[in-house]
Structure 1
Amino acid sequence: MVVLAASIVSKHGKVLVSRQFANISRVRIEGLLAAFPKLIVGEKQHTYVEAENVRYVYQPLESLYILLVTNKQSNILEDLETLRLFSKIIPEFCPSLEEEAISSLAFELIFAIDELISMGHKDSVTIAQVKQYLEMESHEEKLHKLVVQSKIDEAKDVMMRKASAIDKNKMEKLRSDSMNYVPASANGSGRYSNGFQDAKSFGNGSSDGGLRFGSLDSIAPPKPAARGSTPLSTPSNGGMKLGKGQGTKQLLESLKAEGEVILEEVQSLPGPLRTVASPTEPVAISIEEKLTVTLKKDGGLENFELQGTMTLIVQDNEHAQICLQVETGANDKVQLKTHPRIDKDRFLKEKILGLKNAGASFPIGTPLEVLKWRLQSQDESLVPLNINCWPSVSRNECLVNIEYEASRAFELKNVIVSIPLPALRDAPTVNQVDGDWRYDSRKSILEWNILLIDNSNRSGSMEFVVPTSDPSAFFPIDVKFCASKFFCNVKLSGVCDAQNGTNTRHNSETQLVVDSYQVV
């Protein structure tokens, strides 16, 4: 059977969903669909009608037609079976069979059609399998979303704490500054006393204008003026009086807004109080190792190469003159290379990464690879993950056993073993698997997924069955994973200022990733 197009058409000829499979022009397909309503005679449960070059296999579904356009040489029984599955898929994704509902779910229906029909031929799948394939989740995507969300939550917490601390400092500074505008009153002995005794009684309901200050107990009173010093303003016999000067205006505004967030007053504060700390550390260091491994399918190691980099990013000029203290481990086979601007002699003697010129600074906001290392070996004990594949070919089928064995030196995360398969219409039959699996019919690849390999599952296996195939068709096998531990034990001990040796705040990220990992 060769399906040229699968469509959902309203009874008055409007095409709601259409998926083309044949290598013919879009205009031709549109012409075939436009001619369909004119060929229908009477109402039948499901039937077919033939035109000059094609056959229309259709079935009424309430106010719609489910339509397959095939060539005239196709098997009508297979056509009807495909049509039957097509008709069952639609209610699974679209409970309402109205035109508007069908159009709004067009993409979901097209994806379902793609699982049902591949390259114009019917796939042997059930409704449950179609739903399962469309609902499959990616472990890598879920893990990535969790990491991103945790970073967002952490940034929000840091922002709220810093904002709260800044607001508190601004309010305390505002209250402290307001005290400079409160004049001291003179007592009977001619000595200047604290003016807040009168202010409290005034705030509790004096007749001088009825202005109420609220609680002034929380504001520290100014020190009494010393004898012979010049007071802030000329004292009067009537106690404290509020004039129209700039100081008085600031006092009234600060008291009115006591305990509230006041933007206008904040903007008028001195420069240091307006400074907001950056939510990130001033120095960031990324340490990464990339692994390239080629294993032989008959056993043995063909190639093992490791490349590592330490990358520095400085965020501001204040922290541009720094030094990095590192540890490099005791592996003599590792080849270390520093950036040309780094003092190589100092690194070899003291394991400190610093600039050659004492007064020079690292570039701001630009990643700089300050240290690189490389390791090549033929030692099979260094391989973190061994993969063995055993195809067993019989007359009617091919039984494939594949197993992994991981080194105890690493905990591997998000392991994906991709096994190429001969071109198949249907997914292989998986008899046993340690972990999860999925079949990519478009690429004809079987993916074996293990979320984490640690001491609880250092070995595992999978067994599946496919039609009779050449054993070489299952190679090369590609492997992807990541880990937090390194091969070469290059570590960052600390970051300090190059001038005075004080510690500098920083954050660091470390990761081992796979550049290429194959069994050939």
Structure 2
Amino acid sequence: MVVLAASITSKSGKALVSRQFVDMSRIRIEGLLAAFPKLVGSGKQHTYVETENVRYVYQPIESLYLLLVTNKQSNILEDLDTLRLLSKIPEFSASLDEEGVCKYAFELIFAFDEVISLGHKENVTVAQVKQYCEMESHEERLHKLVLQSKINETKDIERGKMDKGGFSSLQSMGSMGSIGRMDSGFGISSGNTFGSGSGFGLSSDVDSFSSKSKGRPSSAVSAPSKGMGMQLGKSQRANQFLESLKAEGEVIVEDVRPSANPSRASAPPPTDPITLTTEEKLNVTLKRDGGVSNFDVQGTLSLQILNQDDGLIQVQVESGGNPEIKFKTHPNINKELFSNENILGSKDPNRPFPAGQSGDGLGLLKWRLQSKDESDVPLTINCWPSVSGNETYVSIEYEASSMFDLQNVVISVPLPALREAPNVKQIDGEWRYDSRNSILEWSILIIDDSNRSGSMEFVVPPADSSAFFPISVRFSATSTFSGMKVASILPLKGGAAPKFSQRTQLVTESYQVV
């Protein structure tokens, strides 16, 4: 069958909503629709009428007509089946009168498009049409619920700070312009330890190569990430929502994807007197045919102190001794002491490090590594699309370096627009299909010596090889390129060294195969 057009018209002949499905002129379509009221006689029981060139198949709906215009060669039984399916579509409209139909004209046209494509009926049900038109899912609702939970937690934290009286003093000092100035040093401390131009400031963006995390567009979250799952555990409302989804038959799967910044998503607040965090952010662009376009590692060593009494310290560090890594200390750190003895201490040994730093803490040291050597890349991806008949076979394999054990690995492969999920023939790990963004996500919980290489194969309709790029990769690791670690804490006021903990992680900021 070939449907030329579909329309909802009034009995006076006015076309309220119309959609053409073949290449015909607008004047021709309008002429066919205008001729329909003259051909329909009163009291007739049949639901079609033919002219010399076309057939009108129609059904009365209260004071309106639902009308299909087809060619005369079209199968009348298929026409009636299509008409029967379309007759259930107007339930999207609040009322079946001219005002209601015109108000929901776009929704009705979209529904027509889901039922009929290029003049031919699609194999869909009413429930599928409603789902495609509404584009609502529990993933979106879950994402909004998680986002609201984070906002509420942030408000609770800020309210707690105000109750302690710390927030008001910080705000008043910020109004005097002393916060964030590079000439005011590392941060804000109490008593006689803070002085303009000689203390430690909050700002750590003091070197030319520092970069801020680039946000990623949100993707569907039918399988919440591990970091997000921990956030869900803190929200009773989120748990209730998940339980209701399970009761409705939804399958809730724990995902292994890291968040955009796993350290902020999952790291608990410090409990030890002193916490030192080593973090390296990885920006890599690989060529699909081999080679490295960009390889950039930016690292930081940050300090958090709970009590001001522990601020008079120096930090003894050790690094891997890679000569290609360029280190840069904060302006108020004694550079000569660091160069000669690998000790991070204030230029003025009588001035303590500030306590109570929020967020990532106080940046003491930064470094950078750039390379064009493919052996430095921790994970390489090879993608091999090949067209065979009416299908495209795509083989993807990964190879991981023995330098790191990678955690929460997610390889995101863009696909051409599909109505159904791709046919995954073989995979080492797990997969999910993000239908909203048309992305196939390949997840591996951990890559270590037992699985340094792996592969996946899937089949999709014919597509150009460029449709599967760029491939994006996310992962984390507990080792770094610099090998930076804290050896000890040296107290300057004598006595035993305060207890300290250190966190080390490597995260991807941007990692692509183009």
User: In the superposition, relative to structure 1, how do residues 302 and 107 fare at CA in structure 2: closer, same or farther (>3 Å)?
Assistant: closer
Q: Does 1:139 align with 2:256?
A: yes
Question: TM-score scaled by structure 2?
Answer: 0.53
Root-mean-square deviation over aligned CA pairs: 3.9
The one-letter code of the counterpart of 2:478 is: S
Distance in 2, Cα, partners of 1:331 & 1:321: 30
For residue 504 of structure 1, what is the aligned residue in structure 2? Answer: 498
- 1:503 Cα shift? 1.4
2:125 counterpart SS class: helix
Q: Secondary structure at the match of 1:432?
A: strand
Q: Which amino acid aligns with 1:354?
A: G
SS across alignment from 2:88:
strand
User: Bigger radius of gyration, 1 or 2?
Assistant: 1
Kindly report which structure 2 residues correspond to 1:52-201, keeping only aligned pairs within 5 A, or say none.
52=64, 55-57=86-88, 74-75=115-116, 81-83=124-126, 135-140=252-257
- The residue that corresponds to 1:388 in the other structure is 382
Per-residue Cα deviation, 1:471-508 (whole angstroms, up to 9, x for no partner)? 11111100000001111111100112123263121121
Match of 2:470 in 1: 476
User: Could you tell me how far apart the structure 1 residues matched to 2:356 and 2:426 are?
Assistant: 51
Distance 1:481 1:49, change over 3 A: farther
Note if 1:444 corresponds to 2:435: no
In structure 2, what residue type is equivalent to 1:475?
Answer: F
Equivalent residue letter for 2:383:
C
Alpha carbons of 1:49 and 1:348: their partners in 2 closer, same or farther (altered >3 Å)? farther
For 1:414 and 1:511, locate their aligned partners in 2 and report how far apart those are by CA, in whole Å.
13
Counterparts of 1:295 and 1:314, CA distance in 2? 40
SS in 2 for 1:487: coil
* Structure 1 residues 149 and 407: CA distance shift in structure 2, 3 A: closer
Contact 2:258-2:476 within 8 A present in 1 as well: no
Instruction: Give the match for residue 290 of structure 1.
Output: 281
Is 1:462 paired with 2:493?
no
Residue 294 to residue 469, structure 1, CA distance change in 2 (3 Å): same
What SS is found at the alignment partner of 1:346? helix
Write out per-residue CA displacement over residues 19-72 of structure 1, whole angstroms, 9 at most, x where no aligned residue. xxx9xxxxxxxxxxxxxxxxxxxxxxxxx8646376431899xxxxxxx96766
* Counterpart in the other structure of 1:416: 410
Indicate if the aligned counterparts of 1:49 and 1:56 stay in contact, CA closer than 8 A: no
Deviation per residue, 1:414-452 (Å, 9 max, x gap): 000000111111111111111000010100100000001
Q: How many residues align?
A: 307
Q: CA 1:298/1:107 → structure 2, altered by over 3 Å: closer, same or farther?
A: closer
- Could you tell me whether the CA contact under 8 Å between 2:256 and 2:409 is conserved in 1? no
User: What per-residue deviation string (whole Å, max 9, x for no partner) do you get for residues 204-238 of structure 1?
Assistant: xxxxxxxxxxxxxxxxxxxxxxxxxxxxxxxxxxx
Deviation at 1:149, TM superposition (A): 10
Q: What is the alpha-carbon distance in structure 1 between the residues aligned to residue 495 and residue 377 of structure 2?
A: 40
Q: What's the CA shift string for 1:167-191, capped at 9, x where partnerless?
A: xxxxxxxxxxxxxxxxxxxxxxxxx
Q: What do the CA deviations read for 1:119-166 (whole angstroms, capped 9, x no partner)?
A: xxxxxxxxxxxx997534322489x99x999969xxxxxxxxxxxxxx
- Structure 2 CA distance for aligned equivalents of residues 484 and 109 of structure 1: 30
Identify if the C-alpha distance between structure 1 residues 456 and 72 changes in structure 2 by more than 3 Å, giving closer, same or farther: closer
* Secondary structure at the counterpart of residue 353 of structure 2: coil
Contact 1:57-1:80 at 8 Å conserved across structures: no
Aligned-pair CA distance for 1:86: 8.9
- Structure 1 unaligned runs (5+)? 5-21, 23-47, 61-67, 88-105, 112-130, 153-278
**What SS class does the counterpart of residue 87 from structure 2 fall into?**
strand
Name the counterpart of 1:322.
313
Taking the aligned partners of 1:109 and 1:331, their CA distance within structure 2 comes to 45
SS at match of 2:348: coil
**Do the aligned partners of 1:56 and 1:69 also contact (CA within 8 Å) in 2?**
no
Tell me, yes or no, if the aligned pair for 1:315 and 1:364 is still in contact at 8 Å. yes
Give 3-state SS (helix, strand or coil) of 2:347's partner. Answer: coil
In the aligned structure 2, how far is the partner of 1:80 from the partner of 1:401?
30
Distance, in Å, in 1 between the alignment partners of 2:474 and 2:249 is: 24
Distance 1:343 1:150 in 2: 30
What CA distance in whole angstroms lies between the structure 2 residues aligned with 1:109 and 1:335? 44
2:433 aligns to what SS in structure 1? strand
Match of 2:348 among 349, 357, 369: 357
Percent of counterpart pairs with the same letter?
Answer: 46
Q: C-alpha separation between the residues in 2 aligned to 1:149 and 1:301? A: 31
Alignment deviations for residues 345-373 of structure 1 (CA, whole Å, 9 cap, x no partner): 01111111010102111122122110111
State whether residues 283 and 295 of structure 2, in contact with CA within 8 Å, keep that contact through their aligned partners in structure 1: yes
What displacement does 1:394 show? 3.1
Helix, strand or coil for the counterpart of 1:323?
strand
Q: Secondary structure at the match of 1:348?
A: helix
Change (3 A) 1:501 1:448: same
Letter in 2 for 1:482: S
C-alpha distance in 1 between matches for 2:298 and 2:140:
44
Task: Select the residue among 419, 435, 453 that pairs with 1:425.
Answer: 419
Q: Is the 8 A contact 2:256 2:444 kept in 1?
A: no
